[in-house]
Amino acid sequence: MKIRVDLSSSAKDDSYDILIGSGIVNAEAGGEVIDVIKQAGLKGRACVITTETVNGLYERLFKNFLKNAGIEPVVLVLPDGESTKSIKYLSYIYDELIKNRFERGEFIIAFGGGVIGDIAGYAAATYLRGINFIQIPTTLLADVDSSVGGKTGIDHPGGKNLIGAFYQPKCVIIDVNLLDTLPERELKNGFAEVIKYGAVLDEEFFIYLENNYEKILSRDKDALTRIIRRSCAIKADIVNKDEKEAGLRSVLNFGHSLGHAVETLYNYETVKHGEAIAIGMIFASMVSEDLGFCTGETLNRIKTLIKNSGLPAKIPNFTPAEYINAMKLDKKVESRLIKFVLVKEIGGFVFKELDFDYIHEFLKKIL
What tens digit of pLDDT does each residue of 263-319 get?
999 988 899 999 999 999 999 999 999 999 999 999 999 999 999 999 999 999 999
Determine if residue 82 is labeled as part of a ligand binding site: yes
Whether 331 is a known active-site residue: answer no
pLDDT (0 to 100) of residue 35: 80
**What per-residue confidence (pLDDT) applies to 165?**
96
360 an active-site residue?
A: no
Instruction: Single out the catalytic residue among 106, 193, 263, 275.
Output: 193
Q: Out of 132, 161, 189, 253, pick the active-site residue.
A: 253
Helix (H) or strand (E) holding 338: strand 337-343
How far the first Cα of the chain sits from its last, in Å, is 46
What are φ and ψ of residue 319, in 5° steps? -80, 155
Catalytic residue among 256, 272, 301, 332: 256
Helix and strand counts by DSSP (H, E) for the chain:
13, 12
Query: What does the pLDDT average to over 157-186?
Result: 93
3-class state of residue 247 by DSSP = coil
Q: What is the DSSP letter of 142?
A: I
The set of long-range contacts for 104-107, using a CB threshold of 8 Å and a minimum separation of 24, is 104/128, 104/130, 104/131, 105/44, 106/44, 106/45, 106/46, 106/47, 106/131, 106/132, 107/42, 107/45, 107/46, 107/47, 107/131, 107/132, 107/133, 107/134, 107/170
Has domain 184-366 been given CATH number 1.20.1090.10?
yes
Any catalytic annotation for residue 339? no
Q: According to the annotation, is 118 in a ligand binding site?
A: yes
Q: What per-residue confidence (pLDDT) applies to 30?
A: 59
pLDDT, tens digit (0-9, with 9 covering 90-100), for 220-273? 999 999 999 999 999 999 999 998 888 899 999 999 999 999 999 998 889 999
Asked whether residue 193 is marked as a ligand-binding residue, the answer is yes
- With a cut of 80, say whether residue 13 has pLDDT above it: no
126 is in an annotated binding site: no
* Ligand-binding site membership of 139 (annotated): yes
Residues spanned by CATH 3.40.50.1970 within the chain? 2-178
- Name the pTM for this structure: 0.94
| pLDDT given at position 28 | 66
User: Exposed, middle or buried by CB within 10 Å (0-12, 13-18, 19+), for 361?
Assistant: exposed
Fold that domain 2-178 belongs to in CATH: Rossmann fold (3.40.50)
Q: At residue 27, does pLDDT exceed 70?
A: no
245 catalytic per annotation: yes
Task: Write down the catalytic residue from 106, 151, 196, 301.
Answer: 151
Residue count of the chain, please give it. 367
Q: How confident is the model at residue 331 (pLDDT cuts 50, 70, 90)?
A: confident
Identify the pLDDT of residue 68. Answer: 83
Average pLDDT over residues 339-366: 96
> Is 273 a residue of the active site?
yes
| Per-residue pLDDT at 29 exceeds 70 | no
The reported pLDDT for the residue numbered 9 is 64
> How many angstroms separate the CA atoms of 319 and 166, rounded?
34
Residue 188 annotated as catalytic: no
Q: Find out whether 83 is annotated in a ligand binding site.
A: yes
Which part of the chain is CATH 1.20.1090.10?
184-366
Phi and psi, residue 84, nearest 5°: -70, -25
State yes or no: pLDDT of 159 exceeds 80.
no
Taken in order 53, 55, 60, 63, the sign of the CA dihedral is positive
Q: Tell me: is residue 160 an annotated ligand-binding position.
A: yes
Which has more pLDDT, 203 or 6?
Answer: 203
102 pLDDT band (50/70/90 cuts)?
very high
Q: Is the pLDDT of residue 11 over 60?
A: no
**List 12, 99, 129, 314, catalytic entry:** 129
- Residue 116 is labelled as binding a ligand: yes
Q: Which of 339, 118, 163 is nearest to 245 (CA)?
A: 339
Q: Can you give the pLDDT at residue 205? A: 98
Residue 151 falls in the annotated catalytic set: yes
| 114 known member of a binding site | yes
Residue 267, pLDDT score = 86
